[in-house]
Amino acid sequence: MNVTRLLLGLTSLLTAALLAQQPSPSADRDRQELTRLEQVWNQAHERGDAEPLAALWSDDLEVTVPRMPVLKRADALSVAKSGRMKFLRYQTSDLLIRTYGDAAVVTGRLQRSRSMNGKQIDDDWRFTKVYIRQNDAWRVVAFHASEAAQP
């Protein structure tokens, strides 16, 4: 009888552990939405379309990228609307999306090619985006990129 109780107890513990590892349906939906928003971000940059970015960026957005001053939302929108920088490629990979209630962190690799003043510039960065949920929608509050390590 003690062996039966022990086996039942172990089975219950293993079942609970497996269930605890399963993401909740809301966490799955959040990750799917954040994945979609990452595509919106990339496509908006490639198309030079500032409107989707304006909808995605929080009022207190801060952008920190190599060789540029820190940009607030208004500055970043000004750059996006100006057309001074044309993206030929804007591709992310190695995405890791983590949610923490009404906050999320997305990390990955960004490879982009841009044209400025007739010159092509290629960037290979690692990035971090911080999202918060505002009025039932995810908004980016911080974007930080740094040069990716080269092999």
Question: What does the pLDDT look like over 27-61, one tens digit per residue?
Answer: 899 999 999 999 999 999 999 999 999 999 999 99
Q: Residues 6 or more apart from 60 whose CB is under 8 A from it?
A: 72, 73, 141
From 83, 78, 67, select the one nearest 116 (Cα to Cα). 83
- Domain range annotation of the chain: 23-147
- Can you give the pLDDT at residue 16? 53
**This prediction's pTM:** 0.80
Task: Count helices and strands (H / E) in the chain.
Answer: 4, 6
- At which residue do the structure tokens 């496509």 appear? 43
Cα three-residue angle 27-101-20, rounded to 5 degrees: 50
Q: Are strands 137-147 and 103-116 parallel, antiparallel or unpaired?
A: unpaired
Across the chain, what does the average pLDDT equal?
Answer: 88
- Can you give the pLDDT at residue 18? 47
**pLDDT-flagged residues of the chain (< 50):** 17-18
- Can you give the pLDDT at residue 83? 82
Strands (DSSP E) contained in 101-136 are: 103-116, 119-134
- Looking at CATH, the fold of the domain delimited by 23-147 is given as Nuclear Transport Factor 2; Chain: A, (3.10.450)
Encoding tokens for residue 137? 């929608």
Backbone angles phi, psi at 142, to 5 degrees: -150, 135
